[in-house]
Chains A and B, each alone.
Chain A
Amino acid sequence: MSEEVQIDQEVYDRLIAEGKSERIARAKAKAASVRKGKVAAGQELGPKSPEENQQALAAFRERSGGGAATAGAGGGAATATKEVPASRLSPEERAARVSASLGGNGNGGSIGVPASSAHTHRLLALVPPAGIQQVQSKQQDKVYTWPHLLIVEFVALLAMTAVVLVTSFFLDAPLGALANPNLTPNPSKAPWYFLGLQELLRYFHPMVAGVTIPGVGLIVLGAAAYVDKNPSAKPENRKFANMAMTFFLVMWTVFVFAGSFFRGPGFNWVWPWVDGLFFEL
């Protein structure tokens, strides 16, 4: 590649005289000198002439037993595909040729376009299987994002806005007395999503309830995706996983409810319908 290609001065001068631009003249002159070199070395040039093509085709048919030549022409079964002119390979012939070049490894030579298709793509290169990235793209039932998905999302957005607006219109966020570090309200409660943990404080040492359980909980939650090796997503195949998750979710909900509604002054047990609510959002 490194070697600079000489330009064919004669061709260059002629093209310049014809009024071609210098860039084009130089490119064509280079090509001409390469061509000359190839002819001198006795190499073939360019595409085959039609006659040469016909000869190659005849030779191929000779080799593969001849009979295939008529396959495309008559035959009730083959009428579904387009008639193929005798000067071209019929699909069957092409299939035979591709599978021959693949070493007849029994997979029907299906690289790219199926060999039996009536499309006339050329096989450009054979790539070893290891060099092909395996992409399993099954045909899927898909719809356009616009309008189908975006409209659904927009409706969800409007509905959510309406819910938040209406709630905010009728319900005021709490704002109690000014913070006073010397006056502990009774009970003192964390925000609702931590009240399950605060409830656990009643049963465990604070290190267990406040650090170990939430910490380990989050790690286990994250790891679950790697621990669960069951490939199926169908509910009937993953009864254990679903049961375990449901168990934890229900436990969590029960503790949050207990901490939120059933704990009063001193964080002692109360019945909300008897003693009232000790809960603020």
Chain B
Amino acid sequence: MSRMSDFLSDVKQRREELKAKRPSSFGEVKTSVQDNVIWKSIFRPGSIYRKGYRDTSRDRALAAMNNVLYHLHPVKVKRHGLKLTYTYCLGGLSFFLFILLTITGIFLMFFYRPTAGAGSELAYLDMRNLSASVTFGNLVRNMHRWGAHLMVFTVFLHMARVFYHGAYKPPREFNWVVGVILLTLTLLLSFTGYLLPWDQLAIWAVTVGTEMMGFTPVFGKQVQFVLLGGVEIGPNTLLRWYVLHVLFVPFVTVIFLAVHFWRIRKDGGISGPL
């Protein structure tokens, strides 16, 4: 009996001890999470995730500086550029759509094989399967499709707004040229993607488009041959355009986007005020 009660009181005592050791408040947990080598290796000195954030000028500046977004945004920006009616955020939305398309596109790649031809119409079957039986497949495909159309549209509008603000004038002439290249790349991205479902709409739209290319002076037929991977649209075209669509054109676009954003900052930030 006494052994038993000894044992119980022992357990009780032990429990009290453990309780005393356990961090008692959120604040203590926070300190123990933040005060270690790993946390400190992730967040730079001065990061608001180390020291906490108070709404002071200093911390506002640090929030921008200790952030990967510092590659895109300076610590301070012109006040007039924030007015929605200056940029309508069109460049930013174009970029955001590009990201959204990358994410949804990666999802689609898990379920799509760029193969066509009698007996192995995988591309088309995968598209059907995607809509019919992949969880969220149809929704993501729709987002990718509508997002692509929308991006072409926002890039057009962005270009128009830049023009009407005279924002292409020195020192921004070169960035305008980069923009024109981006516009071309956006159209190419959209057009190469158009073929991938491999339905009637896809191949005939592409046929119409590449026929026009065939009328390039002097080496029209060669241009068309390279684009189609043959004399007429077929399984080779699909594979070729798939690689262009998921790898080559996005890669080139990302490079030009980097130049575009870098130049915005080097040219003194957003143009204006008018």
A residues touching B (Cβ–Cβ < 8 Å)? 140-150, 152-153, 156-157, 160-161, 163-165, 167-169, 171-181, 183-185, 188-194, 197-198, 201, 205-207, 209-211, 218, 221-222, 224-226, 228, 230-235, 238, 241-242, 245, 249, 280-281
- How many CB-defined contacts (below 8 Å) exist between A and B? 207
Chain A min CB distance to B188 (Å): 11
**B244-274 interface (Cβ within 8 A of A):** 271-272, 274
Q: Judge whether B211 is part of the interface by a CB distance below 8 angstroms.
A: yes
Q: Judge whether B239 is part of the interface by a CB distance below 8 angstroms.
A: no
Q: Which residues from A are CB-within-8-Å of B127?
A: 175
- Contact between B180 and A221, CB atoms less than 8 A apart: yes
- Contact between B168 and A172, CB atoms less than 8 A apart: no
Please, could you name 9 A-B residue pairs with CB atoms under 8 Å apart, sorted by A? A140-B78, A142-B79, A145-B64, A161-B100, A165-B143, A167-B142, A168-B146, A178-B200, A233-B169
**Complex: A224 Cα to B152 Cα, angstroms:** 21
Given A143-B82, A222-B177, A172:B149 Cβ within 8 A: no
Given A168-B146, A169-B139, A173-B142, A149:B194 Cβ within 8 A: no
- Contact between A142 and B177, CB atoms less than 8 A apart: no
Query: Chain B 57-95, CB within 8 Å of chain A: the 1/0 string?
Result: 100110110010100011111111110100001001100
Q: Which residues from A are CB-within-8-Å of B201?
A: 174, 176, 185, 280
- Contact between B180 and A183, CB atoms less than 8 A apart: no
- Contact between B200 and A177, CB atoms less than 8 A apart: yes
Q: Which 6 A-B pairs have the closest CB atoms?
A: A210-B212, A233-B166, A168-B142, A173-B145, A225-B173, A225-B176
Number of residues from B at the complex interface, CB < 8 A: 89
**Complex: A161 Cα to B97 Cα, angstroms:** 9
**Complex: A224 Cα to B57 Cα, angstroms:** 41
Chain A min CB distance to B4 (Å): 62
Chain B min CB distance to A138 (Å): 10
Question: Which of B163, B180, B199 interacts with A175 by CB under 8 Å?
Answer: B199
Closest residue of B by beta carbon distance from A141: B79
**Apart from A146-B60, A179-B124: 7 A-B pairs, beta carbons within 8 A:** A141-B80, A171-B142, A172-B138, A173-B142, A173-B145, A179-B202, A224-B168
Q: Which residues from B are CB-within-8-Å of A207?
A: 215-217, 220
Question: Which of B57, B76, B187, B212 interacts with A145 by CB under 8 Å?
Answer: B76
Given A172-B138, A173-B145, A233:B180 Cβ within 8 A: no
Chain B min CB distance to A186 (Å): 10
**Complex: A228 Cα to B176 Cα, angstroms:** 12
Q: Judge whether B47 is part of the interface by a CB distance below 8 angstroms.
A: no
- Contact between B208 and A188, CB atoms less than 8 A apart: yes
- Contact between A206 and B211, CB atoms less than 8 A apart: yes
Given A168-B143, A179-B199, A193:B180 Cβ within 8 A: no
Given A161-B100, A245-B164, A233:B212 Cβ within 8 A: no
